[in-house]
Amino acid sequence: MKQYDLIIAGAGPAGSSAAIHLAAGGLNVLLVEQKKFPRPKLCGEFISPECQDHFQKLGVARAIACAEPASITETVFYSTRGHHVTVPSSWFGPSVALGLSRAVMDELLLRRAAESGVTVIEDANVVGPLINTDTICGIKIRVDSTEQEYRSPLTIDATGRARILARKVNQAHKQKPKLVAFKAHFQNTRVAPSACEIYFYPGGYGGLSSIEGGSSNLCFIVGAEQVKRCHSDPERVMREFVMKNPRAHHTLDPAHTSSEWLSASWEHFGRQSPAPAKGLLAIGDAAAFIDPFTGSGMLMAFESGELAAETILSHRRNESTEATLAADYIERYRNNFGSRLRTCSLLRRAAFNSRLTELGVTLFAASERFRNRVARATRSPANANHHSV
């Protein structure tokens, strides 16, 4: 068994960013990842302007720029009747938003973590947590059919919506999925230059935007029952639901896929516990899955990774107890993310209801000030006080 100051399960944006910050603070960190990078990932692949500040802090800004991401200056929401409303990227910061595949971005972050002194293990399945009495004291992983154990006084679950460690600790059973998401890269779409387009349609919504290399990324959500009726065929689901939106039909009609389809199902959006067990913290989607239409999922990953690292380093300097650290992290997490998650829970009701979506697009189009205020409410309290109209 090997001893570390901290173990992180999951090397997505949240896990890798937390690892980089913690290593910079002098901790001996182990970062465990199930896949071998680079790998495709189901995601909208929209990077909001605020993330570029995080790229600077993490030391990957130059590498990200060299990957030649698409520049996205606005997000346009289209209703089922063809009405639309625009949210400029400039409302969230001086930089543009970016379109970059997760295969590229996640690998750049993971390699940066390794350069920072983080021990990285890829192709590793998490068997479960190591538990001493009622406290997590490490993890057991399987690499090439061999089980290995690693210990640490604190572990972070950054395994995304799967919440692998939190579920194993609490023996939580997966509920019947209500929603299914699909994602693929396309060539020859008619998506507007420098725009991320969001399409609402009966039973869900989806987004299309440019990424590096002249491709476009389409990611959309549909009810699980509708997917069953289409025999889980993503092309058929796209035609029978997404393309019921007239703008989506226009942009996707001449397009063709340039990657394999990815799919995932889940029970719900919203928050989970940021400290699900003694000795265990959660970050990124493992702590809260914010609605994709906000375009702030990637931002929350970076923010929660940094928040967890700051909390851990602060309490390490003060030699605080694990219970004190967990309580402080929960409070900080609530202060940083509680308000925006509440806002999104209200907007979500409209997103899955065609009549409410039509009304919402009309109201937002009528008042730029109101639209600006609601858009900023999906970001952190600090960002909500800046870039106002």
Best CA proximity match to 10, nearest among 284, 193, 247, 204? 284
What kind of architecture, by CATH, is found in domain 2-174+268-384? 3-Layer(bba) Sandwich (3.50)
With vertex at residue 6, the alpha carbon angle to CA 4 and CA 7, rounded to the nearest 5 degrees, is 95
Domain boundaries in the chain?
A: 2-174+268-384
The string over 297-312, giving b where at least 16 C-beta atoms fall within 10 Å of a residue's C-beta and e elsewhere, is bbbbbbbbbbbbbbbb
The confidence score (pLDDT) of residue 268 equals 73
| The pLDDT value given to residue 4 | 97
Judge whether 277 and 322 are in contact, CB under 8 Å.
no
Per-residue pLDDT of the chain (389 residues; tens, 9 = 90+): 599 999 999 999 999 999 999 999 999 999 999 999 999 999 999 999 999 999 999 999 999 999 999 999 999 999 999 899 999 999 998 889 999 999 999 999 999 999 999 999 999 999 999 999 889 999 999 999 899 999 999 999 999 999 999 988 887 666 778 899 999 999 999 999 899 999 999 989 999 999 999 999 999 999 999 999 999 999 999 999 999 999 999 999 999 999 999 999 887 788 889 999 999 999 999 999 998 989 999 999 999 999 999 999 999 888 778 889 999 999 999 999 999 999 998 888 888 888 899 999 998 999 999 999 999 999 876 554 444 43
Rounded CA-CA distance 82/389 in Å is 26
Which amino acid would we find at residue 281? L
The amino acid present at 365, given as its one-letter code, is A
